C-alpha cells in the first residue's frame, strides 16, 4: 500500500470515528437537556394538580396539550416521586409515541392518590432531529471538503517525490546519462534529493573505476597467459626434454589452460554484468541447438553418450551472443558432468528449454549450484559455468531452475516466467 493511500485511509478512519463520537455525544446531550426540560414541565403540572385539588377539583390538561394526567386512589400517600421514559398511546393523534412520565403520591381533596403525569416527547424529538441535521449536514460537507483539499495538497506535495522515485528507478550506472535531480518544494525532500545526487555520482564513479580496473586486468592477463601457453606448447613438441620434465610441463600446461579459461569466464561475467552484450535480434532456438549439437558431436560420440531431442520450432528476441553462450554452457555442462555411455535429453518448447543428463553424482544443492566457484570435488572445471548461465538468465529475465528426477540432473529455462 502506498504511503499516500495509507495516510488518507488512516486520516479518514480517525476523522469518521471522531465525527461519529462527537455526533453521538452531542445527541445524548440534547436528549439529556430535553429530559430535564420535560421533567421541569411535569413538576409544574403536578403543582397545577395540587392547586386544583385545594379548590376541591381534579386537574385535567387542555385537549391541545400532548399530556395525560391519571389518578389512582391508594391507601396511604408516601412523599416520593420517580421519572422514567415510556411509550404511551396518544388519544388525540391516535398513535403510540415516546413519552416521559412523573409518578408521585399526593393528598387530593382529602384522599391519598397516586398521580401519573405523562408528557409526549414526539415534538421535541423532532426538534432534536432537525437540530442534528442542521448541524450535521454542514459538518459532513466541511469534512468532505477538508478531505478533498487534503488529498489535492498531498498529491501536489508528493508528486515530486514520485518523480524522484522514478528517476532512481531508471538510473543505470552503465549509461552515460547521470541521475536527474528533481525540484522539491519540501525541505526534507530537497535534502533527500541532494543526498541521492551525491550518492549516485559516487556510485557511478566507483563503478566506472572498478569496471575499468577489471577490464584492464583481464585483458592484461590474456597476453602473458597466451605467451606462457605458446612457450609450453613449443617445449612439449621438442624432443630435448626427459620424461619427468615432460610430465611437469604437461601439468604446467593444464594449469595455465585452466587459468586461461578462468580468466575468459571472469571477463565474460564482467561483460554480462555490465550489459555489454546487447545485440538483440530474432534467434531461432531450434536451429541454434542443432548447430551446437553438431559442434559437440565429436565429444558426444567419443564418450558414447546417447542424445534424445524433442525440438519445437521456436524463435525469441534476445541477444544472440548471450543465447549462444547459454546453449554452449548447457551442452558443455551435460557432457562434462556425464559418464561414458550416459544419456542426454533436450526438449525445446514454446516457453522453455530443458537440458537433462545422467551423472556420477546424485542430486546437487539447488541453493548453491549457481554460486560462483561452487563445484564438487570431482569437477575439473572453473566453477563459473553455471554462474554464467544464471547471470545470462537474470540479464534476459529468464527463470533458471534445477532439479534431480529419475537419475537425471535437469536444468530448465523458462523464457516468459510469470
- Distances from the Cα of 403 to the Cαs of 163, 363, 365, in angstroms? 43, 7, 9
pLDDT for 263 equals 60
Own/partner contacts of 149-155, CB < 8 Å, gap of 24 or more, are: 150/8, 150/11, 151/8, 154/4, 154/7, 154/8, 155/4
Report residue 62 as a C-alpha cell. Answer: 387542555
pLDDT for 109 equals 78
- Measured CA to CA, the distance from residue 318 to residue 321 in angstroms comes to 9
Longest Cα–Cα distance in the chain: 155
Range of weakest confidence among 94-108, 341-355, 361-375, 399-413: 361-375
Average pLDDT over residues 100-104: 89
Query: Is residue 308 within 8 Å of 346, Cβ to Cβ?
Result: yes
- Measured CA to CA, the distance from residue 91 to residue 287 in angstroms comes to 100
pLDDT for 372 equals 63
Paired residues of 414 in beta bridges: 352, 399
| Domain architecture of the chain: domains with CATH | 3-130 (no CATH), 187-273 (1.20.58), 280-414 (3.30.565.10)
**Total Cβ atoms within 10 A of residue 410:** 17
Paired residues of 90 in beta bridges: 95
Rg of the chain over Cα atoms, rounded to whole angstroms, equals 46
The answer to whether residue 386 scores a pLDDT higher than 80 is no
Average pLDDT over residues 199-216: 74
- Distances from the Cα of 62 to the Cαs of 67, 181, 368, in angstroms? 8, 83, 97
pLDDT in tens, 11-26: 788 888 888 888 888 8
pLDDT in tens, 292-306: 888 888 888 888 888
Average pLDDT over residues 372-389: 64
- Measured CA to CA, the distance from residue 184 to residue 292 in angstroms comes to 55
The answer to whether residue 418 scores a pLDDT higher than 50 is no
Report residue 407 as a C-alpha cell. Answer: 537419475
- Measured CA to CA, the distance from residue 297 to residue 259 in angstroms comes to 26
**Total Cβ atoms within 10 A of residue 166:** 12
Q: pTM here?
A: 0.45
Higher pLDDT, 310 or 361: 310
pLDDT in tens, 245-272: 667 767 776 666 666 666 666 666 666 6
Amino acid at each position: 500500500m502506498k504511503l499516500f493511500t495509507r495516510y488518507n485511509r488512516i486520516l479518514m478512519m480517525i476523522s469518521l470515528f471522531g465525527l461519529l463520537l462527537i455526533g453521538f455525544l452531542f445527541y445524548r446531550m440534547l436528549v439529556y437537556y430535553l429530559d430535564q426540560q420535560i421533567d421541569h414541565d411535569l413538576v409544574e403540572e403536578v403543582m397545577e394538580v395540587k392547586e386544583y385539588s385545594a379548590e376541591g377539583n381534579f386537574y385535567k390538561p387542555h385537549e391541545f396539550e400532548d399530556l395525560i394526567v391519571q389518578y389512582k386512589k391508594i391507601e396511604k400517600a408516601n412523599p416520593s416521586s420517580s421519572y422514567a421514559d415510556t411509550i404511551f398511546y396518544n388519544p388525540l393523534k391516535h398513535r403510540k409515541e415516546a413519552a416521559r412520565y412523573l409518578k408521585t403520591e399526593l393528598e387530593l381533596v382529602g384522599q391519598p392518590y397516586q398521580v401519573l403525569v405523562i408528557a409526549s416527547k414526539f415534538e421535541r424529538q423532532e426538534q432534536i432531529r432537525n437540530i442534528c441535521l442542521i448541524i450535521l449536514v454542514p459538518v459532513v460537507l466541511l469534512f468532505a471538503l477538508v478531505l478533498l483539499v487534503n488529498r489535492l495538497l498531498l498529491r501536489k506535495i508528493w508528486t515530486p517525490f514520485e518523480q524522484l522515485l522514478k528517476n532512481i528507478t531508471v538510473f543505470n550506472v552503465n549509461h552515460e546519462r547521470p541521475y536527474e535531480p528533481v525540484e522539491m518544494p519540501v525541505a526534507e525532500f530537497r535534502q533527500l534529493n541532494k543526498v541521492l545526487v551525491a550518492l549516485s555520482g559516487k556510485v557511478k564513479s566507483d563503478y566506472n573505476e572498478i569496471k575499468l580496473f577489471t577490464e584492464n586486468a583481464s585483458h592484461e592477463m590474456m597476453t602473458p597467459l597466451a605467451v606462457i601457453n605458446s612457450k609450453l606448447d613449443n617445449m612439449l613438441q621438442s624432443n630435448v626434454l626427459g620424461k619427468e620434465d615432460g610430465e611437469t610441463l604437461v601439468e604446467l600446461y593444464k594449469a595455465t589452460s585452466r587459468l586461461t579459461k578462468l580468466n575468459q569466464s571472469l571477463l565474460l561475467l564482467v561483460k554480462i554484468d555490465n550489459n555489454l552484450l546487447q545485440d538483440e535480434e530474432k534467434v531461432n532456438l531450434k536451429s541454434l541447438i542443432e548447430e551446437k549439437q553438431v559442434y559437440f558431436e565429436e565429444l558426444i560420440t567419443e564418450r558414447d553418450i546417447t542424445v534424445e531431442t524433442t525440438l519445437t520450432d521456436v524463435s525469441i528476441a534476445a541477444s544472440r551472443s548471450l543465447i549462444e553462450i547459454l546453449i554452449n554452457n548447457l551442452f558443455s555442462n551435460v557432457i562434462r558432468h556425464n559418464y561414458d555411455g550416459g544419456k542426454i535429453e533436450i526438449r525445446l518448447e514454446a516457453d522453455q528449454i530443458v537440458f537433462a543428463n545422467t551423472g556420477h553424482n546424485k542430486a546437487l544443492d539447488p541453493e548453491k549450484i549457481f554460486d560462483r566457484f561452487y563445484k564438487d570435488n570431482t569437477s575439473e572445471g572453473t566453477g563459473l559455468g553455471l554462474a554464467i548461465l544464471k547471470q545470462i538468465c537474470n540479464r534476459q529475465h529468464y527463470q533458471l531452475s534445477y532439479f534431480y528426477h529419475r537419475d537425471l540432473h535437469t536444468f530448465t529455462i523458462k523464457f516468459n516466467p510469470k
